[in-house]
C-alpha cells in the first residue's frame, strides 16, 4: 500500500513486487486480528484471557522496545557517539532482571490488570491517577515520537513524491492500526507484535548482508572493518560528557525499570502470561535477545558509514551543515542498495511503525479506563456500554497521537532517540520514586504531598537542565536518576514532617 511510485526502483516489476509483499503483510495482520478478536471479552482485551504464550510475548516485546527509533535513529547516532549506545543497553540488561524478580512477583501477587492499581492499594486513588497520568503523558509523547520518525521516512521517500501530505500519511497509518487493535486488544497484539518483531529484525539483518555484498566483504572482513574503524568506541570515560559510562549504564538500568517495569504498555503483555514463572521466562529471554539485537543495530550503523566512505557518497546534511543522522540509513537502503534491500527496509520500517504505536493505543485505553475512570469497578454500567466506552477512548487516543506527531513535525530539531530518552527522564523519574517508596517503605505520607513532590521534581530539574549548558557537567541519561532521587527525597521529607505513622502495604 505504501509503495506505488518510487524513483530509485529499477523497474515497474520491482515496484509491483514490493507492493505485493506489503499487501500480503497487512493481510496477515488483519487476518490475525480477525481470528483473535472473535468473541472478544473485557478479559481478552485487557489481559488476553491470561493465556498468552511467554515466548510469543517475549518476541513481541522486541518490536515494542526497538521500534522505529532503534531502526532509524540508533544506527545514525554511530557517526557522533560510536558504539557507546551499548553502555545504555548493558544497563537495560541489568534492569530487566530487576523487573523479573522484584516487580513481576508483586504484580502477580496483587493480581493487577493495570499496574497502577498498586498505587491505589498502597496509597489511594488520587495517587493511582497521578501515576497513570505520568504514564499517559510519557507514552503519548514517546509513542508519537517513535511513530513520527518512521512515518517521516515513509512520507519523504514514498508517499510524499505521490503528492500525499504528511497529515494524510499519518492518518493512513493510524487508521490501519485502528483496524486491527480496536476490538481484540492485548489478545490480538501479542500475536501481531510478534510478527512485526520478526520483520523488524529481518530488516536489519538483511541490510547488513546487502551492505557486505555491495562492498564484497565476508563476515570475517566485515567484523574486522568494524573493529578497526574510527567508530568502534564502546566506552566513554570522560566524566564530564553526557554519555560517560556510569551515566549511561546506571541511566539504562533505571530507564529499563521505568520504561518497561513501570510501563503499562510493556507490563500488560507480561500480565497476560499464564503465571509468574512464564512471565519471568519471557523477561529473561527477552533481555538476552535485546542485547544481541542492539549489537546488530550498532554494527549496522558502522557499516552504513563505512559504505558511504568507500563509495564516496555525500551524507545527508541539514541546512546548518550538520549531519541529518536520522536520514542516513533510509537514504542508503532506498537509493544506493538493490531493490530487495529497499523491500526489506520498507517492511522492517513498516513493522517498526506499527509495533511502536499499536499496543500503546490499547494500553493507554486500559490505563485511562481503569486508573482514571475506574469503570472496571462500576457494576451499574453494562458490559456492552463499557465496550462502547473503551472504543471511544481508543479512538480519542488515536487522534491525540496524530496531533502530537504534527507537533513533533513542527518543533523537533534533534535525533528522536535523544528526545524520547529525555522525556522518559522527566516523566518516569517520579514513577520510580512512587514505586520505590511504596514497595520498600511502610511509612505513611499525605497523598497531596506525594503528588506535589512528583510534580515539583521534574519542574525543578527542567530549569536546572536548561542551565547545565553553562556548566562543565553535562546531564545525560542519568537525568531519570536525579529525578527519582529528588522526588523520593521530597516524599520522605513529607513523611517525616507531616505524618510519623506507618502504613501497612496492602497485599
Q: How confident is the model at residue 478 (pLDDT cuts 50, 70, 90)?
A: confident
pLDDT value at 506 more than 50: no
Higher pLDDT, 48 or 91: 91
Counting other chains too, the contacts that 97-100 makes at CB distance below 8 Å and 24 or more residues apart are 97/283, 97/284, 97/287, 98/253, 98/256, 98/257, 98/261, 99/256, 99/257, 99/260, 99/261, 99/283, 100/279, 100/280, 100/283, 100/284, 100/287
- Cα–Cα distance between 21 and 324 in angstroms, integer? 29
- Using the 8-state DSSP alphabet, how is residue 260 labeled? I
pLDDT of residue 427: 81
Tell me yes or no: is domain 12-408 CATH 1.20.1730.10. yes
The pLDDT of residue 184 is: 59
pLDDT on residue 456: 92
Cell of 464: 536546572
Cβ neighbours for 418, distance < 8 A, ≥ 6 positions apart: none
> Considering only CA atoms, which of 358, 424, 426 is closest in space to residue 67?
358
Q: How far apart are CA 487 and CA 484, in angstroms?
A: 5
Q: Residue 137 in contact with residue 455, Cβ under 8 Å? A: no
Closest residue by Cα to residue 98 from 242, 240, 230, 287: 287
Of residues 477, 364, 371, 496, the one with CA closest to residue 437:
496
Q: Which has the minimum average pLDDT: 32-36, 175-179, 430-434?
A: 32-36
C-alpha dist (Å) from residue 222 to 213, 257, 296, 496: 10, 35, 12, 60
Q: Any idea which of 19-23, 58-62, 145-149, 288-292 has the lowest mean pLDDT?
A: 19-23
pLDDT tens digits, 102-121:
999 989 988 887 888 899 98
Which of 5-19, 291-305, 346-360, 424-438 holds the top average pLDDT?
Answer: 291-305
**Mean pLDDT on 409-420:** 60
Can you say whether the dihedral through the CA atoms of 106, 112, 118, 122 is positive or negative? negative
- pLDDT tens sequence across 49-94: 666 787 788 887 887 777 666 777 788 889 888 899 999 999 999 9
Neighbours of 92 (CB within 10 A): 23
59 φψ region: left (φ > 0), alpha (ψ -120 to 50), beta (else): alpha
pLDDT at site 500: 45
List the domain boundaries for the chain.
Answer: 12-408, 431-507
For residue 98, is pLDDT > 70?
Answer: yes
- The fraction of the chain above a pLDDT of 70, given in percent, is 81
Q: How far apart are CA 150 and CA 3, in angstroms?
A: 15
Cell representation of residue 240: 564530564
Q: pLDDT tens across 120-166, in order?
A: 989 988 999 998 888 888 888 878 877 887 677 667 666 666 677 88
pLDDT (0 to 100) of residue 472: 63
Instruction: Find how far residue 172's CA is from the centre of its chain.
Output: 21
d(CA 275, CA 203): 33
Residue 323 bridge partners (DSSP): 317
Mean pLDDT check: name the lowest of 110-119, 137-146, 272-281, 413-422: 413-422
Q: What pLDDT score does 471 carry?
A: 62
Q: Is the pLDDT of residue 253 over 80?
A: yes
Mean pLDDT of 410-435: 72
The larger pLDDT score, comparing residue 499 to residue 174, is at 174
> What pLDDT sits at residue 412?
57
Q: What is the pLDDT of residue 267?
A: 84
Grid cell for residue 117: 492499581
For residue 5, pLDDT over 50 is answered with no
Query: Do the beta carbons of residue 337 and residue 157 sit within 8 Å?
Result: no
Residue 507: the pLDDT is: 40
Helix (H) and strand (E) counts in the chain: 21, 0
DSSP string, 469-483: GGSSS---TTHHHHH
Q: Which residue has the cell 567484523?
A: 223
CA distance linking residue 152 with residue 166, whole number of Å? 8
Q: What mean pLDDT value characterizes the chain?
A: 80
Contact between 56 and 190 (Cβ < 8 Å): yes
What are the Cα distances from residue 458, in Å, to 34, 60, 77, 246, 487? 43, 32, 27, 22, 8
Lowest mean pLDDT among 170-174, 229-233, 305-309, 418-422: 418-422
Least confident span in 58-67, 157-166, 226-235, 336-345 = 157-166
Say which range, 2-16, 36-50, 82-96, 159-173, has the weakest mean pLDDT. 2-16
Distance separating alpha carbons of residues 13 and 402, to the nearest angstrom: 34
Residue 470 binned pLDDT confidence (cut-offs 50, 70, 90): low
Chain length of the chain: 507
Amino acid at each position: 500500500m505504501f509503495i506505488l511510485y518510487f524513483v530509485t526502483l529499477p523497474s515497474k516489476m520491482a515496484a509491483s513486487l514490493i507492493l505485493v509483499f506489503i499487501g500480503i503483510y497487512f493481510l496477515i495482520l488483519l487476518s490475525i486480528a480477525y481470528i483473535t478478536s472473535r468473541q472478544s471479552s473485557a478479559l481478552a482485551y485487557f489481559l488476553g484471557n491470561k493465556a498468552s504464550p511467554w515466548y510469543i510475548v517475549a518476541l513481541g516485546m522486541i518490536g515494542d522496545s526497538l521500534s522505529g527509533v532503534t531502526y532509524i535513529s540508533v544506527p545514525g547516532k554511530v557517526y557522533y557517539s560510536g558504539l557507546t549506545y551499548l553502555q545504555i543497553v548493558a544497563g537495560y540488561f541489568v534492569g530487566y532482571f530487576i523487573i523479573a524478580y522484584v516487580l513481576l512477583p508483586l504484580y502477580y501477587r496483587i493480581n493487577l490488570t493495570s499496574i497502577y492499581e498498586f498505587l491505589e492499594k498502597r496509597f489511594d486513588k488520587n495517587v493511582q491517577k497521578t501515576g497513570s497520568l505520568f504514564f499517559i503523558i510519557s507514552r503519548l509523547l514517546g509513542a508519537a515520537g517513535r511513530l513520527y520518525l518512521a512515518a517521516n521516512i515513509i512520507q519523504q521517500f514514498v508517499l510524499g513524491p505521490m503528492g500525499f501530505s504528511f497529515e494524510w500519511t499519518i492518518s493512513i497509518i493510524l487508521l490501519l492500526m485502528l483496524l486491527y487493535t480496536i476490538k481484540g486488544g492485548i489478545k490480538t497484539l501479542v500475536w501481531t507484535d510478534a510478527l512485526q518483531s520478526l520483520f523488524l529484525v529481518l530488516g536489519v539483518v538483511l541490510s547488513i548482508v546487502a551492505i557486505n555484498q555491495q562492498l564484497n566483504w565476508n563476515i570475517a572482513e566485515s567484523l574486522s572493518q568494524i573493529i578497526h574503524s574510527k567508530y568502534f568506541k564502546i566506552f566513554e570515560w570522560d566524566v564530564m560528557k553526557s554519555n560517560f559510562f556510569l551515566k549511561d549504564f546506571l541511566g539504562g538500568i533505571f530507564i529499563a525499570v521505568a520504561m518497561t517495569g513501570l510501563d503499562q504498555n510493556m507490563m500488560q503483555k507480561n500480565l497476560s502470561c499464564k503465571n509468574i514463572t512464564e512471565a519471568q521466562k519471557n523477561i529473561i529471554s527477552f533481555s538476552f535477545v535485546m542485547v544481541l539485537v542492539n549489537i546488530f543495530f550498532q554494527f549496522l550503523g558502522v557499516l552504513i558509514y563505512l559504505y558511504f566512505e568507500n563509495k564516496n557518497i555525500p551524507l545527508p546534511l541539514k541546512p546548518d551543515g550538520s549531519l541529518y543522522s536520522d536520514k542516513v540509513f533510509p537514504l542508503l537502503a532506498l537509493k544506493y542498495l538493490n531493490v530487495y534491500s529497499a523491500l526489506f527496509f520498507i517492511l522492517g520500517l513498516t513493522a517498526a511503525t506499527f509495533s511502536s504505536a499499536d499496543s500503546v493505543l490499547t494500553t493507554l485505553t486500559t490505563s485511562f479506563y481503569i486508573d482514571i475512570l475506574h469503570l472496571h469497578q462500576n457494576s451499574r454500567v453494562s458490559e456492552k456500554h463499557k465496550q462502547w466506552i473503551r472504543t471511544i477512548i481508543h479512538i480519542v487516543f488515536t487522534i491525540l497521537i496524530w496531533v502530537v506527531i504534527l507537533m513533533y513535525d513542527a518543533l523537533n530539531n534533534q535525533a528522536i532517540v535523544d528526545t524520547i530518552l529525555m522525556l522518559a527522564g522527566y516523566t518516569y523519574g517520579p514513577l520510580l520514586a512512587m514505586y520505590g517508596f511504596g514497595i520498600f517503605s511502610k511509612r505513611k505520607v499525605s497523598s497531596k504531598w506525594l503528588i506535589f513532590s512528583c510534580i515539583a521534581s521534574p519542574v525543578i530539574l527542567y530549569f536546572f537542565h536548561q542551565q547545565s549548558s553553562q556548566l562543565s557537567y553535562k546531564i545525560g541519561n542519568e537525568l531519570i536518576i536525579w529525578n527519582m532521587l529528588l522526588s523520593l527525597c521530597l516524599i520522605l521529607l513529607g513523611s517525616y514532617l507531616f505524618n510519623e505513622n506507618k502504613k501497612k502495604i496492602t497485599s
